């Protein structure tokens, strides 16, 4: 789902930060809504930010929530950046979002996360380097050419190795390998 959120971020019109969002069912089998930060419906597909520091776009979470047309409970929201305080309040007020996954850091990450948790929304972090414990490693290893690279499905479409082009079934999570420097075979457990 985060891959879809990253793809949505490519549509963003914000000049400062491109963000994507996806709202899915609890089983992650259906996408109910998508959004990216951008202009109002029918407006120009451009950033209308006039003053540096002022956000001229509707946020990705905002756009996804306003289009959400289900009362189903336990929804999961994926966003490429941690929600700001205003978006966190909207997510809580939505009432049917149970879990929020995010990957990157917003400048007021802690405040937004605190609001979500206080409102009863579970918060999960995808990837490392976000100031919280990682849920999933970001490095991949191609078992064909042994190249270690940062996993980004939006950049490596279809899960192919960026070096040799091997298919995704030949890719492994790099953290399962022993050793800090050289790569070794997985440890059987």
- Nearest-CA neighbor of 102 among 84, 115, 118? 84
Residue 148 shares a structural domain with residue 77: no
Mean pLDDT of 95-101: 93
- Residue 148 in any domain: the answer is yes
CB 19 within 8 Å of CB 106: no
Whether the predicted pLDDT of 14 surpasses 50: yes
- Nearest-CA neighbor of 130 among 150, 111, 105? 105
The C-alpha atoms of residue 114 and residue 153 are separated, in whole angstroms, by 29
- Residue 134 in any domain: the answer is no
Among 47-61, 69-83, 156-170, which is the least confidently predicted range? 156-170
| End residue of a domain, out of 98, 125, 152 | 125
pLDDT at 140: 61
CB 171 within 8 Å of CB 147: no
- Residue 132 in any domain: the answer is no
Residue of higher predicted confidence among 37 and 14 = 37
Residue of higher predicted confidence among 108 and 181 = 108
CATH of the domain at 58: 3.40.140.10
Residue 120 shares a structural domain with residue 150: no
Kindly indicate the confidence band of residue 54, based on its pLDDT and cuts at 50, 70 and 90: low
The C-alpha atoms of residue 112 and residue 71 are separated, in whole angstroms, by 24
pLDDT at 22: 96
Residue 27 shares a structural domain with residue 106: yes
DSSP 90-155: HHHHHS-EEEEEEEEPPTTHHHHHHHHHHTT-EEEE-SSSSSS--SS--EEEETTT--EEE--TTT
Residue 46 shares a structural domain with residue 121: yes
- Residue 68 in any domain: the answer is yes
Residue 63 shares a structural domain with residue 150: no
Coil, strand or helix at 32: strand
Give residue 167's domain range: 139-176
CB 87 within 8 Å of CB 19: no
Mean pLDDT of 88-96: 96
The C-alpha atoms of residue 17 and residue 8 are separated, in whole angstroms, by 13
How many domains is the chain partitioned into structurally?
A: 2
Kindly indicate the confidence band of residue 147, based on its pLDDT and cuts at 50, 70 and 90: low
């Amino acid at each position: 789902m985060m891959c879809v959120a990253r793809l949505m971020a490519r549509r963003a019109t914000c000049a400062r930060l491109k963000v994507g969002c996806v709202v899915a069912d609890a089983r992650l089998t259906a996408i109910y809504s998508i959004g990216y930060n951008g202009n109002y419906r029918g407006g120009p597909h451009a950033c209308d930010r006039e003053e540096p520091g002022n956000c001229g776009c509707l946020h990705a979470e905002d756009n996804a929530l306003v289009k959400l047309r289900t009362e189903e409970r336990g929804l999961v929201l994926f966003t490429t950046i941690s929600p700001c305080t205003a978006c966190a309040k909207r997510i809580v007020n939505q009432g049917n979002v149970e879990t929020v996954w995010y990957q990157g850091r917003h400048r007021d990450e802690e405040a937004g996360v605190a609001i979500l948790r206080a409102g009863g929304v579970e918060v999960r972090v995808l990837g490392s380097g976000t100031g919280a414990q990682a849920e999933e490693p970001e490095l991949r290893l191609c078992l064909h050419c042994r190249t270690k690279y940062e996993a980004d499905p939006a950049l490596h479409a279809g899960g192919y190795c960026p070096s040799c082009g091997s298919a995704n079934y030949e890719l492994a999570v790099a953290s399962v390998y022993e050793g800090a420097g050289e790569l070794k075979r997985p440890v059987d457990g």
